[in-house]
Amino acid sequence: MGSQADYDKMIPVDRPPGEYRMKEKDSMPAARITPKEAYEKVMAGRALLVCGYEDEEKFGALRLEGAVSFAEFQKMLPTLPKDKEIVFYCA
């Protein structure tokens, strides 16, 4: 499992927050957050951390503390509150 140090190794992509939107019309703009912000939100239960890889082997190798696999996320999706913050990561 990953730790704060693993989150700190994540490199932010240089794109303005909110530049891209998801395809659903009711979705919120995608925003980039720092690894520290992601870690704090996930550990506090304010956000769900999802590994963006569908391959379970990659998920196992790249799993961060508090993360769920993409397959787990897809199963949870119908029951997640619409306002639940979701943080995706990949390496």
Convert the pLDDT of each residue in 51-88 to its tens digit.
998 889 999 998 998 999 999 999 999 999 988 999 99
The whole-angstrom separation of Cα 50 and Cα 58 is 13
Judge whether 24 lies within some domain: no
Total domains, the chain: 1
Residue 89 burial (C-beta neighbours within 10 Å; 0-12, 13-18, 19+): middle
Judge whether 42 lies within some domain: yes
- pLDDT tens digits, one per residue of 5-17: 655 555 444 444 4
Judge whether 39 lies within some domain: yes
Judge whether 19 lies within some domain: no
Query: Domain limits at 55?
Result: 4-12+30-89
Instruction: Give every CB contact of residue 7 below 8 A, 6+ residues apart in sequence.
Output: 35, 36, 38, 39, 64
